[in-house]
Amino acid sequence: MPEFRYHPDPVATGSAVPDDVRCSVCGSSRGVRYTGPVYGVGADEPALCLHCIASGEASRALGTAEIPADFTDAAGAPGEVPRAVVEEVTRRTPGFAGWQQERWLYHCADAAAFLGPAGFTELVDHPEALDELRRGFLGSGWPADQTDAFLRALDRDGAATAYLFRCLHCGTHLAYWDTADTPSRTGAARPRAATAAAARAPGPQRDAPREQRGPVRHARR
């Protein structure tokens, strides 16, 4: 299996599963099939091997000459992150499926490594990520007791899930949360996701709105 700097174990995170199906791009059966989202104009349900994602062949085959397909949205990448890094994350790294809108997290002017979905049980081992999530809720006006109750209800296989990353430079763990239904509190804004930065990158942003880019395949665990 190819190595991915920003997604070290796609099988463990659920972004790839054992399967002997032949890849829609190269025609080979490599024993593992990608299960994450594809944003492009190719087949509605392509069977992709990880080798074709790593090489960029899948991005080229499922996109157009002007707009290659992506496996992750580039929105949210800080401006100091090099264009080449954003391209590697979006076009040559397996994405992952969340409940509503996936996003990649960044730290130390680089993309962080995706470690997988996480619940409260997994997050307690990474207090800096849990504390960042808590600050996002409290900063949005949520009471401390409701914030703690929501965080304790996070479940890696449930309807409210966190997504865990690790900085490749300083080792800081990062996370954001997503739910099947947005939690709300009367008079409070939706809590901010715990991201390293909210700036958009000047690099390979979505060249056209997602709804104009053809079929979108979205596979939730």
pLDDT at residue 165 is higher than 60 = yes
Segment among 53-57, 63-67, 108-112, 155-159 with least mean pLDDT: 63-67
pLDDT, one tens digit per residue, over 169-205 is 999 999 999 998 765 543 333 444 433 323 223 333 3
Confidence of residue 42 (pLDDT cuts 50, 70, 90): low
Provide the token pair at 120: 């409260």
- Measured CA to CA, the distance from residue 164 to residue 5 in angstroms comes to 15
Q: 101 pLDDT band (50/70/90 cuts)?
A: confident
pLDDT at 208 over 70: no
Res 149: pLDDT = 96
**Using a CB cutoff of 8 Å and minimum separation of 24, what contacts does 57-65 make?**
57/25, 57/26, 58/25, 58/34, 59/91, 59/92, 61/24, 61/25, 62/25, 62/38
User: What pLDDT, on a 0 to 100 scale, did the predictor assign at position 183?
Assistant: 57
User: pTM for the whole thing?
Assistant: 0.83
> What pLDDT is stored for residue 210 in this prediction?
42
pLDDT (mean) for 16-25: 96
Average pLDDT (145-169) is: 96
pLDDT at 34: 97
Q: What percent of the chain has pLDDT over 90?
A: 73
Flag whether pLDDT at 77 surpasses 60: yes
CA angle, 26 as apex, 45 and 209 as ends, to 5°? 45
181 against 17, higher pLDDT = 17
For residue 126 the two structure tokens come to 């990474």
